[in-house]
Amino acid sequence: MNIVEVKIKANKESSYPIIIEQGLLDNAYKYIQKYTKANKFLVVTNDTIFNLYGKKLEHQNAEFIVLPDGEIYKTMESLNKILDKALEIKLERKDCIIALGGGVIGDMAGFAAAIYQRGIDFIQIPTTLLSQVDSSVGGKVAVNHTLGKNMVGAFYQPKLVLADTNTLNSLDKRQFKTGLSEVLKYAFIEKTCNANENFDLYDFLSKNRAEIYKKNPETLKRLIEICCKLKSVVVNQDEKEKGLRAILNFGHTYAHAIENITHYEKYTHGEAVSIGMKLIFDLAKSTNYISGEYYNKALKLITKYELLTELDFNPDKEEFYTSMQSDKKVSNQSINFVIPTNEYEVKIVNNIDKNTVLKGI
């Protein structure tokens, strides 16, 4: 069993464990009941995951709300359905919402927990690789608005994260690779995270590709642990994204624009992120932030994992740029880029001129 303790410097009440192990879902309430005094649970999930794992979360004191599957349902309407259900079953202040699913379910259920009766306990059971290494950790919860992704949300930390690596066995290759994009992101930002351990994630990924794709449970547990440690170190220093936390958006400035101009239908989030990482490495090379040698090394890992690196259409560059400007991380219309500067180091810059950016798209 691998355990990562998430501690938040500015918020002493928010420390919680991420437990990473095979088969946790078989005894989920044994862990859950250690971290909440809830009498009643509302399990939020979608139809795909309910059919796969719903039975494992049945409990005499648990009710389910099963939403339709998909990013298009990450809406205020679904949020309302969760809140309606919570009221209908008379969930009280000390009760608990459990998110069983990927990032879409985790983000929505967490936001419902944050606002229901001004905040009730919340537990994350992430079932995708992306949610196990990223979205279930750190407390960003949200729904989408018609005018922008994750535009309505909060920072609200869970009481516990249970990452059962067995759930990854039912994940298809495309979704698994989506999670791997976020994993590679951590390799490229590792040094700037300021962890007091050196994981050398780039090296780990270079050596363990075959075992990772075979879903070797021990390799996956270690991989998830490293990513969660890196993320928790960053969140500890900057929970509310006043500065450092923005490095977790490496590749995402482009990715959000890609998702936006393709209406969240063509690419998964991770696919957009891997294309975004390639574009930011291109930008860093063309502006001499990094050497050709590091550029080649970075690209070698992205291609080794067969992640997407190119759009398969020619975007309207102006539309693409405008879309980048509407990202949440923009201030005064200048785009913040998390740019690589050295091996596994990045920094945030906002002075790259439009023409240089357009040339690279």
Which residues are known catalytic residues?
A: 118, 140, 182, 231, 241, 245, 249, 252, 256, 269
Residue 95 or 134 with smaller CB distance to ligand GLY:
134
DSSP alpha helices (H): ranges in 163-251?
173-189, 201-207, 209-213, 217-237
- In the list ligand GLY, ligand NAD, none, the entry touching 221 (Cβ below 5 to 8 angstroms by class) is none
Q: Return the residue matching tokens 């970075």.
A: 298
Residue 329: CB atoms within 10 Å? 17
| Binding-site ranges for ligand GLY (CB under 6 A) | 134, 138, 140, 245, 248-249
Residue 85 or 149 with smaller CB distance to ligand GLY:
149
Kindly write down the DSSP assignment for every residue of 239-259, as one continuous string.
TT-SSGGGGGGTTHHHHHHHH
67 close to 140: Cβ distance less than 8 angstroms: no
- Helix, strand, coil shares of the chain, percent, nearest 5, are 50, 20, 30
Q: Cα separations (Å) of 150 from 66, 154, 245, 349?
A: 21, 10, 16, 23
209 close to 184: Cβ distance less than 8 angstroms: no
- In the list ligand GLY, ligand NAD, none, the entry touching 128 (Cβ below 5 to 8 angstroms by class) is ligand NAD
Residue 140 or 285 with smaller CB distance to ligand NAD:
140
Residue 134 or 190 with smaller CB distance to ligand GLY:
134
Shortest distance in whole angstroms from residue 117 CB to ligand NAD: 22
Shortest distance in whole angstroms from residue 353 CB to ligand NAD: 29
Shortest distance in whole angstroms from residue 23 CB to ligand NAD: 14
Smallest CA-to-CA distance from 102 within 260, 268, 261, 274 is with 268
Shortest distance in whole angstroms from residue 233 CB to ligand GLY: 13
| Binding-site ranges for ligand NAD (CB under 6 A) | 46, 48-49, 52, 69, 71, 74, 101-105, 107, 127-128, 130-131, 134-135, 138, 140, 150, 167, 170-171, 175, 178, 269
